[in-house]
Amino acid sequence: MIPISLRWVGEATGHLELIDQTLLPAQFTWLTCRDVPTVVEAIKSLRVRGAPAIGIAGAYGMAVAAGEAIRGQMAASHARAHVLARAEELATARPTAVNLRWAVERCLRAIDGLPAEADAPALAEALLTEARAIHDEDRRLCEAIGRHGASVLPEGGVLTHCNTGALATGGAGTALAVITAAWDSGRRFEVFADETRPLFQGARLTAWELVQRGIPVTVLCDSAAAHLLKTGRVAACIVGADRITANGDTANKIGTYGLALLAEAHGVPFFVAAPSSTFDLSLETGAEIPIEERAAAEVLRPLGAVAAPEAAKAFNPAFDVTPARLIRGIITENGVVSPVTRERIREVLST
Ligand code: MRU
């Protein structure tokens, strides 16, 4: 069964619920979000995470903002100003995944066309409709990505990094959807998941999802990847993306760039899987992508354990950028971008 990472409960005055991913796999708990600060906190602290999923959470967050305006009995102009202010708080909760701003701006466009006198319930209705559309679309995109990806995935073991499954999206996932689609088609192969320091999305979340689905998974320390690739047990690496620029440079979870270099050194094809909402064609190259820096405690006290002296400093970028030249193909809902060039990206995205 494919788990769902977030859901809207009730009608326009309802609320958002999301699985608190910081507690997995030890605890499965739904977090209720009735106000925007709760949604923003959930995005910042990775209770909901993964580029498409934070986009969807941001979109539902806009409906939550309109719900605040209804409860606050705000007049039409005040309600709209409130929603606009909340939009900025949501869009800037995390900087690297472009899906977040993309989804929030799409919701803003949905109320742009409403008359100035549209009241809070009318705004809420329009915002919830748009958020639901973004969520439904993502479900379909994941399915298409899985299908296209399974057709290019070579026979043999697969190594993935971070979590790119149902928890990270509104559907079956991106890179993980490729793996599960290939598995569901009857193919059998070893699946390796990097643990993904410092927050262990691979060990905690990817392994959890695969176990839920009955797919055997082997977790490795990130630093074991070179040795694993040398053994020849991995026929392909496949990862997700948080932002892909016009030339195909790809920001993804820290460690992805290193893995791509290792894959190149061992002659293993390296694939990225992402929906069109993850492309940012306004940026020319990966050098322009803002890279989120996170708290030192994530490195120095992983999972709450004291792993380094209190006085030590930490270097904790949450993402890195893999240059396009290291990527064999980018699997999108429209098909596979390969070779990864500006021209081919534009061609595939416009089909
Ligand atoms: O910091 P996170 O856990 O939100 O990072 C997530 C990733 O880097 C994923 O690989 C990416 O968002 C793609 S999810 C389909």
> What's the farthest any 2 CA atoms get from each other in the chain?
66
In this predicted structure, what is the pLDDT of residue 325?
A: 98
Is the minimum distance from the CB of 148 to ligand 1 under 6 angstroms? no
Domain segments of the chain: what residues? Answer: 6-140, 145-349
Segment (H or E) for 196: none
In this predicted structure, what is the pLDDT of residue 183?
A: 98
Of the residues 222, 242, 280, 320, which is catalytic?
242
Q: Which atom number of ligand 1 is nearest to the Cα of residue 274?
A: 15
Q: Considering only the top CATH level, what class is 6-140?
A: mainly alpha
pLDDT digits (tens, 9 = 90+) for 195-237: 999 999 999 999 999 999 999 999 999 999 999 999 999 999 9
In this predicted structure, what is the pLDDT of residue 351?
A: 85
Is the minimum distance from the CB of 201 to ligand 1 under 6 angstroms? yes
In this predicted structure, what is the pLDDT of residue 3?
A: 79
Domain 145-349 falls under CATH 3.20.20.70: no
Q: Is 242 a catalytic residue?
A: yes
**Cα of 227 from ligand 1 centre, angstroms:** 24
1: pLDDT strictly greater than 80: no
Indicate the SS3 state at residue 128.
helix
pLDDT digits (tens, 9 = 90+) for 108-127: 999 999 999 999 999 999 99
In Å, how far are 15, 87, 319 from 46, measured between CA atoms?
Answer: 19, 19, 14
**Cα of 167 from ligand 1 centre, angstroms:** 10
Please report which confidence band the pLDDT of residue 128 belongs to, taking 50, 70 and 90 as the band edges. Answer: very high
Please report which confidence band the pLDDT of residue 142 belongs to, taking 50, 70 and 90 as the band edges. Answer: very high
In this predicted structure, what is the pLDDT of residue 34?
A: 98
pLDDT digits (tens, 9 = 90+) for 9-54: 999 999 999 999 999 999 999 999 999 999 999 999 999 999 999 9
pLDDT digits (tens, 9 = 90+) for 149-172: 999 999 999 999 999 999 999 999
Nearest CA to ligand 1 atom 10: 240
- The DSSP symbol for 168 reads G
Q: Which of 95, 99, 100 is nearest to 293 (CA)?
A: 95
- pTM score of the predicted model: 0.97
In Å, how far are 152, 232, 236 from 272, measured between CA atoms?
Answer: 12, 20, 11
Structure tokens given for 250:
């790809």
